[in-house]
A and B are shown apart, each in its own frame.
Chain A
Amino acid sequence: MVATVHTSPMIQLRRLFRFFGNTKAVNDVSFEVLPGQVFGYIGPNGAGKTTSMRILSTLDLPDYGDALVDGFSVVNDPDRVRKRLGFMPDNFGTYPNMNCVEYLDFFARSYGIVGRDRTKALRHTLAYTGLDKIAEKSIRGLSKGMRQRLCLGRAMIHDPSVLILDEPANGLDPRARIELRHMIRGLAAMGKTLLVSSHILTELGEMCDAIGIIERGQLIISGTVADIKAQLRPHIDVLVRLIAKGEDLGLWLADKPGISHIQASDLVVRFQFASDQPQEQAQLLQAIVQASFPVLEYSSESRSLEDVFLQITTGAVQ
């Protein structure tokens, strides 16, 4: 396989646009995935995940913008992209009168793998995906979990350095989901770069190095899991009105735990409090009053990203 020593991103979306009539399926999306990373691509149904992944896999053309895989443009060098990329679509095509090995063997041949290289690739793929016990079974009779494994096996048969998996956990039972997670982590440990999509954040949370959340064709947020977790931590926005001594309250609050983003004027103080427990809020308010600040009004509003995310992942389909 092609050895990539440089640390430039393996997957790069540069201001990608794809419209279907009035539907803005992908509307100015840019992000990068570094070598060896697992990137979780999260968004509700109809957000544009499949569309952007199809563009990355050279199955569709962007209206504007470009995407690079290992530095090669999907628009201008699709042949080189295809050599380096394995794509597992959400709907999975099979042939009649074929069993699992024959299916994998056919795609290995299609990728130009010949002779002992192919038998080796077949053995490795069958063993890695755990298909070796049902290798002779007809594909039409496979369970959903086994079909997903076969599809993953097909995507990795030519040992690509980038794998794009479109909703691989969709419709799997919890046990199969855990096994899938192990397989994905294992692939990352082999140095492969993965882009995995899902409409459920928790499905991907633990196995991703970075995530991006897409809604209505636009990337809302992206970054490493630690960054996003910090932003997703529950917090509330608090507004306090006083008769006087607002600036003093700001100073007083500055060294209290869990308080950030303080904006203080003489009569109004705004800050963020890193908890949404009413108990803790009550204690804070009590402490402020006890410190004899002349409080006129205390109001709080929960605007956590978690709320935003819950909102986008539970409805809001285009």
Chain B
Amino acid sequence: MSQSSLTGASATEVTLQHRICEDPSKLWERLWLWVTDRINPIVVKEVRQSLKSRQFTISFGLTLLAAISWTLFAVSIMVPRIYYVPAGLPLLTGFFCILNLPLMVIIPFGAFRSLASETEDSTFELLSISALSSIQIIYGKMASAGVQIVLFLSALAPCIVLTYLLRGVSLFTILFVLSLTLLFSVLETALALLFASMSRSRMIQNLTSVLALAGLLIGFFAWCSLIISILQEDFLDQAIMSEPGITLAWTFAIATIAGLLGSLILRTASAAIDFPSENNSTTIRLRVFGLVSLSFFWAMYGIAAIKESAALLVLGIAIFILLMFVGSLVSGERGIISPRAQRGLPKTFLGRVFLTWFYPGAGLGYVLIVCLFGAFTGTAAAFSLYFGSELRNNVSAVLGCYLLLCYLAIYLGINRLIMLLLPKELSGRLVGSFALLVVILLLSHLLPLLVAFYAANYRNIDYTAIQSFNIFWTLYELDRADLNAAQVVLTITAIAVFGANLILCTRDVLLVRVALPSRVREDDTPVAPEAVAQPVDPFA
């Protein structure tokens, strides 16, 4: 290429070009190429971009500046005492608050903008037709955020070491709070990515970006105050001293549940941007299954330790809320298994009995979710039978779980039946299905209340069977009123709705695996199949 035609080309520019598109000759260059080839391309791109971007430089510089100023300020205030009184705690609290701003707000919001701007600049479509899978795109965005987290963390690491040297905070507390902060930051980033992936439309994205920013700021302040109180109370140190086993178990429980939750969020985000005929249901449902089983396992461990069956009900309600949310999204799925997904259907009879429920389609997902909660209720009942009189409030917790099971079957089932009537190619089905569930819940709670008020001439009313569908009131009356009528009403309705849904998804259950098209098989077989040397068993 002609040097003269390069307007104002300097030598550095030419070598820069060498770096990207000339073959590397030096050993370290070859090594570097080998390493970057194995990194997600999006990370390589975003690091390259952020090296040139002003926003990153400014936020990084400001964080450093804030940390240095805080150190100088705090030390100068405490200067006479610092020699004989432990001074680590106030300093550490300040550093965590400084670190939280990038970790809780700037980085998650940056990830949100990064995915949303792919749509705005119409680069997303270019990316989606490349060989990158949608989960690779999401992981790439996540990993880029991870790189930034590490950078901010390493910038503040010397300050945090300083607080340890100033005494007053134990190493365990520092590490625990730091890991919890990291975990929360990663989960927030994953949630931000999920938000960004939910909609392709400009208007909704503008709306969600305002919501996301507001949510992140709330998260920031909540986390800062939580950290301040954790550090002030120093109950962490007491806990690890008095009951190290249980403390470690709780730590482990939080880590595993958060990890699975993060994975579920990222998979959902990836499914939202994936090609419609791809089967994402299986991976998502396996994670929901894992999450429910795991939280159940840890809660049982906790209950066995503290012998309080109200915890069972609290846990049941938590899983109920999660499943209602997931279930409303599942109802929004198209009710069909695409021919592409049909290629992977289980082949054996047992596989079809147990695994078909993990395949795409609103009906199958509904059955899976109800069965999952049914299994939870059954195990809870067995558990309370086994522990028997050792548990307090034994019966009502199991009854509560049973009623929740009926509610799950009824509300999700009705939601799905109504979604069946809507056209399949309706855009924004997931959001619509969630909105529909909210409407159904509002109606089923408000209408009986109005009727009862009207019948009682707008005076105070008591709980009667007509309020059976009111989740809150029924649970509230669990230990107070006679719930026999409500039980009968709910059981019959639940069986009817579940049965109707089961009948309507028989078509999906009966689907069998389809063969690969001949062109695909042709593509998978090598052009000239070479004879593969089979190892011969000398003792045969």
Residue of A nearest to B118 (CB): A93
| B 340-369 contacts with A by CB, 8 A | 340
A286 at the interface (CB under 8 A from B): no
- Among candidates B20, B41, B278, B517, residue contacting A122 with C-beta atoms closer than 8 Å: B20
Interface contact tally, CB-CB below 8 A: 122
Does any Cβ of B come within 8 Å of A279's Cβ? Answer: no
Given the complex of chains A and B, what is the CA–CA distance between A120 and B129 in angstroms? 22
Given A63-B425, A72-B520, A95-B49, A89-B125 contact (CB < 8 Å): yes
Least CB distance, A154 to chain B, in whole angstroms: 7
CB neighbours (8 Å) of B523 from chain A are: 2, 72, 80
Q: B129 contacts A136, CB within 8 Å? A: no
Tell me the bound Cα distance from A63 to B6 in angstroms: 51
B519 contacts A71, C-beta separation under 8 Å: yes
Chain A residue total in the interface (Cβ 8 A): 53
Answer whether residue B72 sits at the interface, using C-beta atoms and an 8 A cutoff. no
* A89–B122 CB distance below 8 A: yes
**Is there a chain A Cβ closer than 8 Å to B339's Cβ?**
yes
Residues of A within 8 A of B132 (CB): 110
Check B21 against A107 for contact (C-beta < 8 Å): no
CB distance from A152 to the nearest CB of B (A): 13
A105 to B44, CA, bound (A): 10
Contact among A61, A72, A83, A114 with B276 in the assembled complex (CB-CB below 8 Å): A61
Q: Say whether B21 contacts A126, CB under 8 Å.
A: yes
Q: Which residues of chain A are within 8 angstroms of B338 by Cβ–Cβ distance?
A: 75-76
Whether the Cβ atoms of B276 and A94 lie closer than 8 Å is no
Count, chain B residues at interface, CB 8 A: 49
Pair B129/A82 contact, Cβ less than 8 Å: yes
The CA-CA distance from A126 to B538 in the complex, in Å, is 57
B53 contacts A by Cβ under 8 Å = yes
With A75-B277, A132-B1 as known contacts, state yes or no: A93 contacts B6, CB within 8 Å.
no
Q: How far is the CB of A96 from chain B (nearest CB, A)?
A: 7
Point out the residues of chain A lying under 8 angstroms from B127, CB to CB.
110
Minimum CB distance partner of A54 in chain B: B125
Judge if B527 is at the interface, Cβ distance under 8 Å.
yes
Known contacts A82-B131, A97-B49, A132-B1; is A115 also within 8 Å of B20 by CB?
no
Asked if A111 and B130 make an inter-chain contact with CB atoms under 8 angstroms apart, the answer reads yes
Q: Knowing A97-B52, A101-B20, A101-B21 are in contact, say whether A114-B131 is a contact too (CB < 8 A).
A: no
In chain B between 1 and 33, which residues have their CB closer than 8 angstroms to a CB of chain A? 1-2, 5-6, 9, 13, 16-17, 20-24, 33
The answer to whether B17 and A135 touch across the interface, beta carbons within 8 angstroms, is yes
Q: A301–B63 Cα gap in the complex (Å)? A: 80
* Contact of A115 with B122 at beta-carbon distance under 8 Å, contacts A72-B520, A76-B517, A82-B130 already known: no
Contacts of A154 in B (CB 8 A): 126
Instruction: Kindly list 5 other residue pairs between chains A and B, CB separation below 8 angstroms, not including A2-B523, A89-B126, A93-B122.
Output: A58-B129, A79-B131, A94-B123, A105-B21, A123-B21
